[in-house]
Structures are given as C-alpha cells and as structure tokens.
C-alpha cells in the first residue's frame, strides 16, 4: 500500500480523537467497585483504581470534589462513583474523572450504623449509669423473636435445662425486613407493660449486616431505652454488634448466652436451698435449747421471789442495816470529837493577844537587823569612796602639773606628743600648774624616738 493512501495519525492526534469519542459516548457513568492503589498527594487530589473480580479502572478525583465527601476513602472500601470517561492524552491512559462518591452496599449501611451510634451515644442512651441490673431469679421471662427461628429453640432449651420452673412468654415478631423494626418496638412496649415480666430477651440468630439491620434502627434503640424492665440482647453471633446491643442493659454474644445470663443454675440453687434448710434446722434447735435454759432460769427466779423467802431476806437485810447504823453512829461521834479538839487547838493558836505579841517581837528583830545593815553598808561605802578618791588623786593630771610638767595642745585641743607633726607658725596652747600661755612654733627639733 502506498504511504500517500494511508490515513496516518500522530500519537497526539489519535489520543485526542479517542478522548473526544469517549467523552461523547460516555458523558456521565456510574461505576461500582473496590478502592485499591489509593494515593493522596499534597495537592489534595486523590488517585485510585476501582476493581472487581475481572478488571481495574484508573480513577482521579480532584480536590474541589473531594472536599464534598462526608467520609474518608480507604483502601478496600466498596464504593459507587459517578464520573466522566476520559483519556489522559500525554500517556494514553484510560481513566474515569470522578465527581461523586458514596459507599456501596454494606459500606453505606456501616456508615449509617456509625452515624446513629454516635448520635445516640452523644444523647447518653448508652451511658452505663442507665443500665439496670438483671434479677437474680426472675419471676417471668419475655422473649421477643421469630417463632420459627433457631433462636427461640436455643433459648427455651437453655431455660429448660437451667431453671425450667421460670415462666416464659413469647412475643412473635419478624426479625428482618422493613416491618421488623416497628414490630420489635411495639413488642418491647407491650412486654414492658406486662406485670409478669421481670426481664426481656431480644434475640435473633446470625446473618449479614443487611439481615440484622432491623436491630440497628433508631426506633428499636429508643424502645429498649424506654423499657422499665431490664433488656438483654442476644443478636447474631459473637462477632456481631448492633445498636440494640449498646442500648440494652446487657449484651450477650448469642441467644443461648442471653438465656444463660438471665436464668440461674437450678442445681446450684437446690444446693443453696439444702444448705439454708440445714442451717434453719440448726438455728431452730439452738433456739429451742436457749428457750429451755431461759425457762429453767425463770423457774428458779420464781422460787426466789416466793413471799416467805422475800420476807426472810428482808428481815436479814434489816438486821444488817441496824448493825451498820450503830457502827456508823459510833464512828461519826468519834470523828466529830476529834474534829472539835483540832478546831479548839487551832483557835487557841489563832488568839489575837498571842498574835500581837508575836508580831511585836518580830518587828523589834526586824528593826535591829535594819539598823545593823544600814550602819554596815554606810561604813563599806565610806571606805570604798576614800580608796577611789586616793586613786583618782594619784592619777589626776593636776598632780603631774604640780610637779613642774605642762600640757601643750594644738588649736583643736589635741595633745602634742610628737614634734614631727608640728608646722612652723602653728599656734599652740600650754597649760601649767597655775595658769597657761599661748605660743607659736618657730622651729622644730626632731628628736630621736624613745620607747
């Protein structure tokens, strides 16, 4: 074939035409798949692949659209996206430009589950302080479940094995589908109004998240919270959690576990009753023995209270009191006599005449002692004054001046003891034994220093 007859495209032209055809053919499409290869660079855009069991599709979602999402895309999340099919021309990559994204199937239900859980938790519906204790021995158990499911058979089997005498009432409800949640809420209200209901079991067998969804409805959660009787939930298997589990007073892993949680072990109770019966017999025997002892003591006491015995005891007691009175009278007389003698002696000692004589004698002694002390102190002071006057006279500068010495001072009155500190022309004052004179330094003789 001649080259001129061939329709040859450049790579850029071909990619441009293919991109144009794709955008015209697939304006907007919805695609469901699982997120993989998720990348979120600093630009704020996200790049990922949607995959199913047979293929993958490269996708891009720009920052402006990502901000509108009310959840965070994650690897492995099943989503439904809407976008435009396009071709990234520089590399020739087929891709989907996504402008909307929402969880698909179970992912959407899980999102709704978390939203309702957070809402009710914020209201305090799951607060542990609201939880009611389960009665130790319920007088009546109400079971709310499907009458044809395995859950009711498991519950009845456990109750029949553990404590078959407890009455059980069944409230039949659908446990999945649109009618299930309203029916369960109504059954909870009716069961709570039943005076014979001590505890409510809300149970169902296992299933998918969609199958158990009736127990994630807000109406059911609020109906559980409004119940005055404690509610035990046993929905699904051990790994299944529903909103009803959080709202209930007790969550059991399975329906059988819920039945075990509200029924005591009959054998244990029978053993306990046997122990109480034995203990009661022991207490009754002990009480009878005590009553017999009490009767014997009262009989002996009655004999003691016989009139003749009381009369004899009274006569003996009266004789004892007479003897004690006579002894006490004699003791009091002796005591009063001794006390009178002591008071008479003290009165003689306190006579005014005697006290005046003693006081006069004491004053004379004090006056003599005072005179002697004054005379002795005066002599001591005179002798000391004479000694101090002699010492003062010996140390007086006037005595030194009388022997021919003089005292020379400068203008400030300081004594001159060193000629080297004088200055020519300096005015001096000299004091003699009698009188003194002023002088002026004419010359200074520096003598040798003497010790």
For the chain, domain boundaries: 11-104, 111-268, 401-440
Q: Residues 253-291: pLDDT tens digits?
A: 899 999 999 998 877 777 777 778 878 888 888 888 888
pLDDT band for 250, please (50, 70, 90 cuts). very high
**pLDDT at residue 4, rounded to an integer:** 53
Q: Residues 132-142: pLDDT tens digits?
A: 999 988 999 99
Measured in residues, the chain has a length of 451
Rounded CA separation 262/134 (Å): 7
Q: Is the pLDDT of residue 143 over 90?
A: yes
**pLDDT at residue 451, rounded to an integer:** 52
Alpha helices in 123-179 (DSSP H): 150-162
Characterize the bridge pairing of strands 78-88 and 93-103.
Answer: antiparallel
Q: Is the pLDDT of residue 5 over 70?
A: no
φ, ψ for residue 232, nearest 5 deg: -115, 125
**pLDDT at residue 1, rounded to an integer:** 46
**pLDDT at residue 169, rounded to an integer:** 94
Q: Residues 109-128: pLDDT tens digits?
A: 777 788 888 999 999 999 99
* pLDDT (average), residues 62-87: 86
What proportion of the chain, given as a percentage, has pLDDT over 70? 95
Q: Is the pLDDT of residue 388 over 90?
A: no
Tell me the fold of 111-268: Rossmann fold (3.40.50)
**pLDDT at residue 449, rounded to an integer:** 54
**pLDDT at residue 261, rounded to an integer:** 92
**pLDDT at residue 360, rounded to an integer:** 84
Instruction: Name the range with the highest mean pLDDT among 20-34, 167-181, 276-290.
Output: 167-181
**pLDDT at residue 124, rounded to an integer:** 92
Which residue did the predictor score with more confidence, 110 or 339? 339
pLDDT band for 108, please (50, 70, 90 cuts). low
Angle at the Cα of 27 from the Cα atoms of 21 and 30, rounded to 5 degrees: 125
DSSP characters for 235-289?
Answer: ESSTT---HHHHHSSEE-SSHHHHHHHHS--HHHHHHHHHHHHHHHHHHHHHHHH
Output the CA torsion 140→146→148→153 (10° steps).
Answer: -40
Q: Residues 198-245: pLDDT tens digits?
A: 999 999 988 777 788 899 999 999 999 999 999 999 998 777 789 999
Superfamily name and number for 11-104: Nucleic acid-binding proteins (2.40.50.140)
Are both 11-104 and 111-268 of the same fold?
Answer: no
Three-state DSSP state, 312: helix
pTM equals: 0.45
Q: Is the pLDDT of residue 19 over 80?
A: no
Instruction: Name the range with the highest mean pLDDT among 64-78, 112-126, 218-232, 337-351.
Output: 218-232
* pLDDT (average), residues 368-383: 89
Q: Residues 83-101: pLDDT tens digits?
A: 888 887 788 788 888 998 8
Q: Which of 178-182, 185-189, 236-240 has the lowest mean pLDDT?
A: 236-240
**pLDDT at residue 45, rounded to an integer:** 92
Q: To which residue do tokens 């519950």 refer?
A: 155
**pLDDT at residue 340, rounded to an integer:** 83
For the chain, what is the mean pLDDT?
Answer: 85
* pLDDT (average), residues 170-179: 92
pLDDT band for 299, please (50, 70, 90 cuts). confident
Question: What residues are paired with 170 via a beta bridge?
Answer: 143
């Amino acid at each position: 074939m001649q080259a001129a007859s061939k329709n040859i495209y450049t790579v850029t032209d071909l990619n441009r035409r293919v991109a144009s055809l794709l955008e015209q053919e697939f304006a907007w499409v919805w695609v469901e798949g699982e997120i993989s290869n998720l990348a979120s660079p600093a630009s704020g855009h996200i790049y990922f692949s949607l995959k199913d069991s047979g293929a993958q599709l490269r996708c891009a979602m720009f920052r402006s659209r990502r901000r509108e999402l009310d959840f965070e895309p994650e690897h492995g999340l099943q989503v439904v996206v809407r976008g435009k099919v396009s071709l990234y021309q520089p590399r020739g990559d087929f891709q989907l430009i996504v402008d909307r994204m929402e969880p698909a199937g179970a992912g959407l239900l899980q999102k709704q589950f978390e939203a309702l859980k957070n809402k009710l938790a914020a209201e305090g519906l799951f607060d542990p302080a609201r939880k009611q204790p389960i009665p130790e021995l319920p007088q009546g158990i109400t079971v709310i479940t499907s009458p044809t499911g395995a859950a009711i058979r498991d519950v009845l089997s456990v109750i029949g094995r553990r404590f078959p005498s407890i009455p059980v009432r069944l409230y039949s409800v659908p446990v999945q589908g649109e009618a299930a949640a309203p029916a369960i809420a109504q059954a909870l209200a009716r069961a709570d109004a039943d005076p014979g209901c001590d505890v409510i079991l809300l149970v169902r067998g296992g299933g998918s998240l969609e199958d158990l969804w009736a127990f994630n409805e807000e109406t059911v959660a609020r109906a559980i919270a409004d119940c005055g009787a404690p509610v035990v939930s046993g929905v699904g298997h051990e790994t299944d959690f529903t909103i009803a589990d959080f709202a209930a007073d007790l969550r059991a892993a399975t329906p059988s576990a819920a039945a075990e949680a509200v029924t005591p072990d009959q054998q244990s109770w029978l053993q306990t009753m046997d122990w109480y019966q034995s203990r009661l017999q022991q207490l009754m025997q002990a009480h009878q023995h005590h009553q017999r002892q009490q009767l014997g003591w009262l009989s002996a006491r009655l004999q003691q209270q016989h009139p003749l015995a009381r009369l004899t005891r009274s006569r003996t007691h009266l004789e004892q009191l007479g003897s004690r009175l006579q002894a006490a009278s004699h003791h009091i007389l002796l005591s009063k006599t001794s006390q009178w003698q002591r008071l008479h002696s003290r009165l003689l000692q306190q006579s005014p005449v005697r006290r005046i004589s003693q006081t006069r004698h004491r004053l004379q002694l004090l006056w003599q002692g005072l005179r002697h002390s004054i005379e002795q102190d005066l002599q001591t002071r005179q002798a000391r004054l004479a000694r101090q006057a002699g010492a003062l006279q010996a140390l007086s500068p006037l005595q030194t001046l009388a022997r021919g010495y003089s005292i020379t001072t400068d203008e400030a009155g300081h004594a001159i003891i060193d000629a080297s500190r004088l200055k020519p022309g300096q005015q001096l004052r000299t004091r003699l034994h009698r009188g003194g004179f002023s002088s002026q330094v004419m010359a200074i003789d520096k003598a040798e220093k003497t010790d």
